[in-house]
Amino acid sequence: MSLLELVPPKVLTFIPVGVPDPGAGTAPGDTEGKITTVIGWVTWLAFAVCALGVIIAGGMMALGQRRGEGGEHAARLGWVLAGCIVVGSAAGLVNALI
């Protein structure tokens, strides 16, 4: 199910008429393998940054507990986990929008 199926037809009449057709969604020539490689590396890097962020936030929470700053670090951990959710669901979000 695409996102456009959820939009009422009356709203679709406001879309400009001169919008170019992006094609069938296939990559030109030999770029498909290269793009997949780049996306794989970026995905791996994003997951590594998420794991590192959780580890750092947990360590700061443990150190801050002795000084009574647990609430600040808990909020930071919440933001890190929210970022992890966005990174983890990126493929699903893109497929929902397309």
- pLDDT given for residue 5 in this prediction: 67
- pLDDT given for residue 9 in this prediction: 63
**DSSP annotation of 8:** -
- Per residue in 22-53, pLDDT (tens digit) is 666 666 677 777 877 888 888 888 888 988 98
> Which one is predicted more confidently, 2 or 31?
31
Please state the pTM of the whole predicted model: 0.58
The domains of the chain are located at 42-98
What does the alpha-carbon distance between residue 88 and residue 5 come to, in Å, rounded to a whole number?
Answer: 25
- pLDDT given for residue 16 in this prediction: 55
- pLDDT given for residue 42 in this prediction: 86
- pLDDT given for residue 14 in this prediction: 59
